[in-house]
Chains A and B, each alone.
Chain A
Amino acid sequence: MNIRRTIGLTIALLVLTIGVAVFFATGMQSLLYAPQDPEVRVPATSTATADLPPGSRPGRLMIPALNIDAFIEEVGVNGKGNMATPSKYADVAWYKFGTIPGETGSAVMAGHVDNGLALDGVFKHLEDLHVGDDLYVTMKTGERLHFKVSDIRSYPYDKVPTEELFNKNDAARLNLVTCVGSWLKSEKTYDERLIVYTILQDN
């Protein structure tokens, strides 16, 4: 009788522990921390930003029209050669090996459209922006940069003009990226990417 009771208690504890652990792990990854492909380690010395003082980096992104005021993470490249993504659904990610916001060239920031429970990510409503809407990037120095939306386009996820997105050097640009469209189960991604092109303003 005692043996049966001991075995029963052990199994009950095991089931309870596994259930609680999986519940919290799934909840955390679905709601707060996005799953990440490991970033490729690119030596800091190879980048234009490697020797920048911390203040020269972007700190927060504000989009008044969408009530967005988000922390900016710095990301590089993942093992698939793609720009890495923010670790939190509420953050945006700046491609740190590219252009610094405010400099001539194309700075790129990405944000999640939704989380693991299909609830809103930071860029859920990015497609509601209009040409002429304002964006602000607060640098870690406290300097505030003003951008205006110049164009909004969506592309098939495998046909995004990455040269234009990352390397267009005709102005001080900030391009925002997120996912839109339908979920491709086999690819585990949405079938389109929305790009919001913005240009630095004088004021």
Chain B
Amino acid sequence: MTSLQRFIPVSAIALAILIGAATIASAQATVPSVTGTATSAGTVVVPGATGSIVSNVTLSFNQAGSVFVSSVPVTVTAGNGASISNLSSCQIFNANGAALNTGANVLTSVQGSNTITFDTPLQVTGGTTSNLTVRCNIAVGTPATGTFQFAIGTPTFAPALSVTTPMLTVTGATTAGAQDVILANILLDAMRSGADIRLSSLPVTITASGGGSVSNLSDCRVRNSLTGNAALNSGVNVAGSLANGTNTITFDNTLTVAQGTALLLSVTCDVSAAASVGSTFQIGTIPGTIGATAANTGAAVVPTGTVAGTLTSAGVPVVVLAATTPGVPNTGEGGNAPLNMALLALSALAAILGVSFLRRFA
């Protein structure tokens, strides 16, 4: 069983999935980040104006896929006789003109350094640019020649968890009676999370086919690669019997996935000696059904998969083989020749009889 003894950057895991587990440790990662750029709106300051565009902002994500941003730090400087305090009620609007921070999140009093928190996390997609505008009220006494400069710091990611089922170490084949067979790997990816993520259980979907039954599986455990594949569930948390479909495995202790890291879990079960050859077992999870919370706030986090919330990460099917080495093939049919020749003769006779009957009755 391969163990991953430390946190793994997600891109390293993706690479390892492609080229094999042995290279995980040496793969280099690109830290996911969102870059914000503020530029002058180019508009003349109008004293007393409300909702005046004071800056344009773009956000861009440096990786494929998308990330959710919960807040952005904004630094403001004023010049030509204007003062920062001349600005108030600042809001960020998206390209469609919708305000992203309202109510308590409106920046009512502007300081040199501010943080604007979005009402709901803003999705930023790699390869595209999110174009935003900053609008503020401008005090009546502001000099018409005054200027305001905005700068965007590093945006903060929202708490998030992505779940996939990589095929690492799932061999795809086992034998009846085998113990602790890895039936699935489940990667909990908080690389793009702004907070640690906590889980207390894992719902796994189990299907059996090819003559196998879910009852052929027992002692199913979720194992943590960070702790030498120690089981996260034991004692009463090991199900005595499993159901076809979703089974929730409750952990003995809350599991925390630190933000900026990915954690590889494996699901192992014992395969009954009574499992017939050809039995196939498949374990996965539905990301959207995993109960996760942000460690800093306790707020619920809905994990996503490749298709957010709806993906059934089915995992790799594992089939029971009779033995590691197959038996010899049966490559002769000659002994059936008498039977086949008899069949040929009888069927030919039937055809001839059919033809003669046709002639008689036609």
Residues of A near any B CB (own CB < 8 A): 5, 8-9, 11-23, 26-27, 29-30, 34-35, 40-43, 45-47, 77, 79-86, 89, 93, 95, 97, 110-118, 121, 123, 157, 160, 162-163, 165-167, 177-179, 183-185, 188-190, 193
Alpha-carbon gap, A110 to B329, bound state (A) = 7
Please determine whether B337 and A8 come into contact, CB atoms closer than 8 angstroms: no
Which of B329, B341, B356 gathers most chain A CB within 10 Å? B329
B44 within 8 A of A: no
Q: In this complex, what residue of B is CB-closest to A157? A: B328
| Per-position binary interface string of chain B over residues 317-332, scored 1 when its CB falls under 8 Å from any chain A CB and 0 otherwise | 1110111011111111
Alpha-carbon gap, A63 to B346, bound state (A) = 39
The distance from the CB of B169 to the nearest CB of chain A, in whole angstroms, is: 11
Please determine whether B277 and A116 come into contact, CB atoms closer than 8 angstroms: no
23 A–B contact pairs at CB < 8 A? A9-B362, A12-B356, A13-B358, A16-B357, A18-B354, A23-B347, A26-B340, A30-B340, A35-B333, A47-B172, A79-B278, A80-B322, A80-B327, A81-B321, A83-B326, A85-B331, A113-B331, A115-B333, A123-B331, A166-B326, A167-B325, A177-B331, A183-B335
Nearest 7 CB-CB pairings of A with B = A46-B172, A81-B322, A16-B354, A19-B350, A183-B335, A12-B357, A19-B351
Please determine whether B360 and A16 come into contact, CB atoms closer than 8 angstroms: no
Query: Which of A34, A40, A163, A179 interacts with B277 by CB under 8 Å?
Result: A40
What is the size, in residues, of chain B's interface with A at 8 Å between Cβ atoms?
Answer: 49
Residues of B near any A CB (own CB < 8 A): 167, 170-173, 210, 277-278, 280, 316-319, 321-323, 325-337, 340-341, 343-344, 346-358, 360-362
4 more A-B residue pairs beyond the given contacts A8-B361, A43-B319, A183-B334, with a C-beta to C-beta distance below 8 A:
A15-B351, A20-B351, A43-B172, A184-B335
Please determine whether B354 and A23 come into contact, CB atoms closer than 8 angstroms: no
Please determine whether B280 and A41 come into contact, CB atoms closer than 8 angstroms: yes
Please determine whether B354 and A83 come into contact, CB atoms closer than 8 angstroms: no
Alpha-carbon gap, A29 to B344, bound state (A) = 11
Alpha-carbon gap, A5 to B361, bound state (A) = 6
Alpha-carbon gap, A17 to B351, bound state (A) = 7
The distance from the CB of A196 to the nearest CB of chain B, in whole angstroms, is: 13
Please determine whether A113 and B332 come into contact, CB atoms closer than 8 angstroms: yes
Query: Which of A13, A30, A82 interacts with B328 by CB under 8 Å?
Result: A82
Contacts of B341 in A (CB 8 A): 117
Please determine whether B351 and A23 come into contact, CB atoms closer than 8 angstroms: yes
Contacts of A13 in B (CB 8 A): 354, 358
Query: Which of A20, A165, A179 interacts with B332 by CB under 8 Å?
Result: A179
Alpha-carbon gap, A161 to B240, bound state (A) = 40
Query: Which of B326, B331, B337 interacts with A118 by CB under 8 Å?
Result: B337
Alpha-carbon gap, A184 to B173, bound state (A) = 32
Contacts of A117 in B (CB 8 A): 337, 340-341
Please determine whether B326 and A9 come into contact, CB atoms closer than 8 angstroms: no
Please determine whether A177 and B173 come into contact, CB atoms closer than 8 angstroms: no
Please determine whether A15 and B354 come into contact, CB atoms closer than 8 angstroms: yes
Please determine whether A45 and B280 come into contact, CB atoms closer than 8 angstroms: no
The distance from the CB of A63 to the nearest CB of chain B, in whole angstroms, is: 16
Contacts of B354 in A (CB 8 A): 12-20
Query: Which of B278, B330, B358 interacts with A16 by CB under 8 Å?
Result: B358
Contacts of B349 in A (CB 8 A): 19
Alpha-carbon gap, A79 to B327, bound state (A) = 11
Query: Which of B167, B210, B322, B353 interacts with A15 by CB under 8 Å?
Result: B353
The distance from the CB of A184 to the nearest CB of chain B, in whole angstroms, is: 8
Please determine whether A189 and B330 come into contact, CB atoms closer than 8 angstroms: yes
Alpha-carbon gap, A189 to B335, bound state (A) = 7
Please determine whether A162 and B326 come into contact, CB atoms closer than 8 angstroms: yes
Please determine whether B326 and A19 come into contact, CB atoms closer than 8 angstroms: no
Contacts of A190 in B (CB 8 A): 332, 334-335
Alpha-carbon gap, A124 to B175, bound state (A) = 34
Q: In this complex, what residue of B is CB-closest to A162? A: B325
Alpha-carbon gap, A38 to B354, bound state (A) = 35
Please determine whether A160 and B328 come into contact, CB atoms closer than 8 angstroms: yes
Q: In this complex, what residue of B is CB-closest to A40? A: B278
Please determine whether B348 and A23 come into contact, CB atoms closer than 8 angstroms: yes
Please determine whether A95 and B326 come into contact, CB atoms closer than 8 angstroms: yes
Contacts of A111 in B (CB 8 A): 331
The distance from the CB of A199 to the nearest CB of chain B, in whole angstroms, is: 20
